[in-house]
Structure 1
Amino acid sequence: MVYASSKRLELPVALDAEKKLSYLRLARSENIGPIGFFHLIEKFKHPENALSRLKAQPIYKGRICSADEAQKEIDLHHANRYHLISYFEPEYPEYLRQLKDPPIFLSVCGRIELLKSSCFAVVGARNASQSAHTWIQQHIPFLKSSSQTITSGLARGVDTWAHEAALNADMPTIAVIAGGLGNIYPLENKTLYHRIAEQGAVISEDPLHLSPQAQLFPKRNRIISGLSWGILIIEAGIKSGALLSAKYALDQNRCIFVLPGHPLDSRSHGGNKLIKEGACLVETASDIKKEFPKSIPRMSFCAKEEEETDYLLSCSNTSSFLGIESQTSEHSDVLRLLLERISTVPTSIETLRKELKVSSICLQNMLVELELQGYIERYPGDAVVAVPQEGGSCVEAHCS
């Protein structure tokens, strides 16, 4: 239910500079992910209220972003002619606003109006075959007549070829990168990065100073699929990042398309498996065009009516910072059991709920508590992972 904040906020809104600065401070504070962010806004209504309460809470183990730090980031955006768009503003893409864990801020270099265009994602293997390259060159330009913006991740292989095919056909393209704007990865795509910035847009949810890191790529992938009404998988192995993007697309209620591959080619095993499971088989661009949506797909992530009531009651409980009675022994026991079930391997939140036999609201409140303490991180696809602590422990949190 924490996810359904958008339905209680009148969006979009025009933010004054002071409020936008406060939102940025909260979003950039340690251990505050998108779900925790909306939980705090839901409870305290204004970012300044949430920030002041965080400072006073022993449960919060992170560092709060200062006003000077946030203002410096805003100034850097202006100096580099980047746009910094918040979830609450009219320029924010409606498709992303439908996600369970939407990025709170997007940094944009290039044509900001493309965020509102009809986007179609193309992803696949970094070591893709020459036949994949040929197919992309021949067929992606045929989507131009339908006014599509090609979205991908600037990686080697399929991502690079998809961006290039779009640019060469004078089509708009968006590159979603891991790390802050200006941190180009791979470096061999430096020229392509700047071409996209001039003719399309490069976007990121990460602070400008953050360099590309392994844990940022899954988060990046959810934005690629989240921006788009559909996603085309070209040569994806069983354990590939492209297949992970397909999983996010499925969670996001997006259309999944697959270019089939040879059964003896391991690069095609993941994509062929998706076809068996119901993904749309693609031979030509016309197979994609006939599936164009008439409206933005809506996600069914809001809570049931009884959970909505429980959540509102928990938010109105001023005796507890997070809407939970964290001093009860029962809560402490459940929190310990929860921690024991979370490891450095992503664990489904729904699996945790079933194992612990607790309500969705109770579980989400406890997960927010652990996230604020720095013991877990959210993982795209409605999962969580444990954050190793000093001494190697992942499970000893403040449970009493």
Structure 2
Amino acid sequence: MQDTDPTPESSQSDWTGWLRLAEVPGVGCVLGARLLAGFGSPAAIFAAPHADLAATCGAQLASAILAPPPPSTLALIERTRIWLATQGKHLLTLHHPAYPPLLREIYDPPLLLYAAGHVELLSAPMLAIVGSRNASRQGEANAQAFARAFSDAGLTIVSGLALGIDAAAHQAALCGSGSTVAVIGTGADIVYPARNHQLAHQIAETGCVVSEYPLGHPVLASNFPRRNRLISGMSRGVLVVEAAAQSGSLITARMAAEQGREVFAIPGSIHAPMSKGCHRLIREGAKLVESAADVLEELAPAVPAARGAGAEPAAELGGRLLAALGHEPVDGDTLALLSGLDAGALSAQLLTMELAGQLERLPGGLFQRVSR
């Protein structure tokens, strides 16, 4: 069942206890996990003597936990029940088998995750791609090319459904052989920003949209930095494509480092404001990335499939493109025809070779091989 957890006492309605616990003011992720570790389940927590609860969380909070749920919580339970009756909607508890395994390892994993889509993706190897909402055209092209390459290599791409880099990464991942997960900062029944409504629908159809916030939770600025810990927490690593000096993407990168995840950054022009954040990350120890292979090689020990999926095909594609390029400028359509590559694979490989200094992009959509 989509709304149960694997504990022995679980039943079809067991999620209501989890939701009730999560809605008690003062019971956050950390204390909630401590209570569950001590008592085993929400049902056991609500059945515990006041003195036993007070020993863990104090007398005042113990009283709040044991008090009858307020009308707002009862209304949320009913709203959630209706939402779960819709195809593809899931409520994953911290004990649920579909809960992202890496996310359980962080300091403050959510007690509940609202998920729309294919929850099996949450157990697959994931890589986060984040960056500026006000991305440059080159930044969006980079995000698309890298996301497509990683998707084809078997990784699920995680991002935050924001405009700019996030949206570009999600869209490209959907075009690859893998898929994508969007971690949002509102209730799972709200799409923000509205311009990404169609994209959110596509992700819910073939990927997964995830939120820790209850249904109906509005757009608040404070939601998004907190949301970022989930993006990094469920991923093997985080790639920052473009970021200004004060970008929220740097928060995600910092959280990734604190969680023991790999941090990658794409360098850019020293004159570009959107490169400042990436350059700062690289100075602080993030791995400089010039091609998708740079990331796949780092992740290979933890994600064995990435080695086989990414290494040899990339070399083969590079050889085919170099042969197709010759030594005269060639347009993209001609390269696609000569190489036999589709648009997504061609774009990804052209970017990889451009960053490696093997070709240069000329005005008019032309490409030329660089002689060494």
TM-score over 0.5 (shorter chain): yes
1:271 maps to 278
TM-score (norm 1): 0.66
Matched, 1:129 2:139: no
Counterpart selection for 2:11 from 16, 19, 32: 16
> Does structure 1 conserve the Cα–Cα contact (< 8 Å) formed by 2:76 and 2:215?
no
> Does structure 2 conserve the Cα–Cα contact (< 8 Å) formed by 1:95 and 1:226?
yes
Counterpart selection for 2:200 from 193, 197, 211: 193
Q: State the alpha-carbon separation in 2 of the partners of residues 118 and 163 from structure 1.
A: 16
Counterpart selection for 1:90 from 89, 97, 104: 97
**Where do residues 266-345 of structure 1 align in structure 2 (5 Å cutoff)?**
266-295=273-302
> Does structure 1 conserve the Cα–Cα contact (< 8 Å) formed by 2:117 and 2:208?
yes
- TM-superposed CA distance for 1:12, in Å, is 5.8
Q: State the alpha-carbon separation in 2 of the partners of residues 228 and 18 from structure 1.
A: 30
- TM-superposed CA distance for 1:199, in Å, is 1.3
Change beyond 3 A, Cα 1:162–1:61: farther
> Does structure 1 conserve the Cα–Cα contact (< 8 Å) formed by 2:152 and 2:178?
no
> Does structure 1 conserve the Cα–Cα contact (< 8 Å) formed by 2:189 and 2:215?
yes
- TM-superposed CA distance for 1:239, in Å, is 1.9
Q: State the alpha-carbon separation in 1 of the partners of residues 108 and 29 from structure 2.
A: 5
Counterpart selection for 1:35 from 12, 25, 30: 30
1:119 maps to 126
Q: Unpaired segments of 5 or more residues in structure 2? A: 304-372
Counterpart selection for 2:86 from 80, 86, 89: 80
**More contact order relative to length (CA 8 Å, sep ≥ 6):** 1
- TM-superposed CA distance for 1:62, in Å, is 6.0
Q: Output the amino acid matched with 1:251.
A: E
2:359 maps to none
User: Over residues 270-307 of structure 1, what are the superposed CA-to-partner deviations in whole Å (9 max), with x where a residue is unaligned?
Assistant: 211111121111111111111124348xxxxxxxxxxx
1:236 maps to 243
User: Over residues 252-275 of structure 1, what are the superposed CA-to-partner deviations in whole Å (9 max), with x where a residue is unaligned?
Assistant: 100100011222222221211111
> Does structure 2 conserve the Cα–Cα contact (< 8 Å) formed by 1:260 and 1:272?
yes
- TM-superposed CA distance for 1:61, in Å, is 8.6
Q: Output the amino acid matched with 2:17.
A: S
Identity between Structure 1 and Structure 2 (%): 36
- TM-superposed CA distance for 1:60, in Å, is 6.1
Q: Output the amino acid matched with 2:232.
A: S
Report the count of equivalent residues.
286
Larger Rg: 2
Q: Output the amino acid matched with 1:116.
A: S
What secondary structure does 2:299 align onto?
Answer: coil
- TM-superposed CA distance for 1:235, in Å, is 1.4
Counterpart selection for 1:210 from 217, 225, 241: 217
> Does structure 2 conserve the Cα–Cα contact (< 8 Å) formed by 1:124 and 1:157?
yes
Q: State the alpha-carbon separation in 2 of the partners of residues 152 and 277 from structure 1.
A: 22
Matched, 1:99 2:106: yes
Once superposed, what is the RMSD of the aligned Cα atoms? Answer: 2.4
2:226 maps to 219
Matched, 1:26 2:33: no
Q: State the alpha-carbon separation in 1 of the partners of residues 212 and 146 from structure 2.
A: 30
> Does structure 2 conserve the Cα–Cα contact (< 8 Å) formed by 1:122 and 1:159?
yes
Q: Unpaired segments of 5 or more residues in structure 1? A: 1-10, 297-400
2:368 maps to none
User: Over residues 46-70 of structure 1, what are the superposed CA-to-partner deviations in whole Å (9 max), with x where a residue is unaligned?
Assistant: 4245346379933569686457346
Q: Output the amino acid matched with 1:50.
A: I
Q: State the alpha-carbon separation in 1 of the partners of residues 231 and 138 from structure 2.
A: 24
> Does structure 2 conserve the Cα–Cα contact (< 8 Å) formed by 1:184 and 1:193?
yes
Q: Output the amino acid matched with 1:210.
A: H
Counterpart selection for 2:60 from 46, 53, 58: 58
